[in-house]
Homo-oligomer: A and B are copies of this chain.
Amino acid sequence: MFKTVEWKGSAVVMIDQRLLPGEEVYRRYTGYKEVAGAIKEMVVRGAPAIGVAAAMGVALGASKIKAKDYQTFRKEFDKVADLLASTRPTAVNLFWAIERMKKVAAENRALPIPELKERLIKEAKEIHRDDIEINRTIGKHGGRLLKDRSTVLTHCNAGALATAGYGTALGVIRGAIEAGKKIKVFADETRPFLQGSRLTAWELKKDKIDVTLITDNMAGYMMKKGLIDAVVVGADRIAANGDVANKIGTYSVAVLAREHKIPFYVAAPLSTIDLKIGHGDEIPIEERDTSEVTHVKGNRIAPRGIKVRNPAFDVTPNSLVTGIITERGVVRRPYSKGLKGLFRKG
């Protein structure tokens, strides 16, 4: 099986997701600025995977700091953290992972600098290891919600490629299958970046999971034909009230799911839940370069000079969400209470 992101020697290695499914190329990054670039350019993407990559980027940057005392070290360290935090605005896992690294730095300020650096690398590796474990637990909880011989629609890629491994939404599908259920999957291709056709289709096929690829605008048709039993998607940020920011198009899928009385589940780790944000409208939505819409694989598909909008995410209001599947169980309405409760369980 492939590795999405990995700490190897003194470098961060990532599969270049821009080249999938055509080529399986691993990139080796030895500087934090390159890691930041890789996140920005979507070599790696998916909220949990971005979090892991950012933590490793912080550890990598920290390991190269020449300072001998904590104060000087910390000044440089914060620069590293700030650059990594500036790469993408929507997925909160990025900020969560960086905060976790900052906290470790602060808590271990008394350590000699070389040991502090080791401690930071250890933390980044732990975030990586934890994420896989969390996803397996999400998969167990969520797998119970899927009926045997059912067909699940998913949007974008919330799979092994979007996480340290196993996946959130695809983790739920894997969890159901590991529990002995027969599950079929419909994958939205997910324009403009085609995470569905390029990544979800690829990793499910590799896993021998029955997957059918459709364009985004076919989801409503398939639902109307009675071919979809449940929707499971990931999340980039979940507000305290249960509003969910996820890949552009998720909101439309949620509206269609309700129209057809199909349950709509969101699978995400606690690190995706942002209790500081009360309402989905407050979640910053990244607008990406227009070339993602006007070009596919470098080929122009729209007239030169055409105006384009390219919001990378949208917000699905909590009223359309049947349940949020986390590593601490499934939360249902009212979300404000349920989501807050998750953090007390720890």
Binding site for B on A (CB under 8 A): 21-22, 155, 186, 188-192, 194, 197-198, 201-202, 205, 210-222, 224, 248-249, 251-252, 255-256, 259, 293-294, 296-297, 299-311, 314-315
A213 in complex: contacting residue of B21, B211, B220, B307, CB < 8 Å = B307
Contacting pair B217 A309 (CB below 8 A): no
Contacting pair A194 B314 (CB below 8 A): no
Contacting pair A221 B306 (CB below 8 A): no
Contacting pair A297 B308 (CB below 8 A): no
**Complexed CA–CA distance, A315 and B129 (Å):** 47
**Complexed CA–CA distance, A155 and B211 (Å):** 27
Contacting pair A306 B211 (CB below 8 A): yes
Contacting pair A217 B198 (CB below 8 A): no
Contacting pair B189 A293 (CB below 8 A): yes
Contacting pair A302 B220 (CB below 8 A): no
**Complexed CA–CA distance, A22 and B296 (Å):** 14
Contacting pair A303 B202 (CB below 8 A): yes
Contacting pair B205 A305 (CB below 8 A): yes
Contacting pair A296 B299 (CB below 8 A): yes
A217 in complex: contacting residue of B202, B205, B249, B302, CB < 8 Å = B249
User: Which chain B residue shows the least CB distance to A212?
Assistant: B307
Contacting pair B217 A252 (CB below 8 A): yes
Contacting pair B301 A220 (CB below 8 A): no
> Closest Cβ of chain B: how far from A103's Cβ, in Å?
35
Which residues of B are found within 8 Å of A191, using beta-carbon distances? 189, 191, 215-217
Which residues of B are found within 8 Å of A255, using beta-carbon distances? 220, 255-256, 259
